[in-house]
């Protein structure tokens, strides 16, 4: 295993319970990690088609 991810700081986002902190650890490089902290999460949001086309 080279990397593993942990999910912590469980919060309620618009009625859904999800982790708000995601941390990826690099086993090959001790002390190296990347953390994503989610402040808000939206579900079933309307996204215009032009966002995904060229």
pLDDT in tens, 14-28: 999 999 999 999 999
- Give whole-number Cα distances, 35 to 5, 16, 22, in Å: 9, 21, 6
1-54, pLDDT tens digit by residue?
Answer: 899 999 999 999 999 999 999 999 999 999 999 999 999 999 999 999 888 876
Percentages (nearest 5) of helix, strand, coil residues in the chain: 5, 50, 45
Residue 22 sits at φ, ψ, to 5 deg, of: -120, 125
Q: What is the pTM of this model?
A: 0.75
The answer to whether the CB of 25 falls within 8 A of the CB of 3 is yes
Which residues are CB-contacts of 52 (< 8 A; sequence separation ≥ 6)? none
């Amino acid at each position: 295993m080279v990397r593993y991810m942990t999910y912590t700081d469980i919060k309620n986002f618009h009625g859904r319970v999800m982790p708000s902190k995601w941390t990826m650890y690099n086993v090959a490089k001790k002390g190296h990690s990347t953390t994503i902290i989610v402040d808000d999460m939206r579900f079933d949001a309307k996204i215009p088609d032009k966002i995904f086309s060229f």
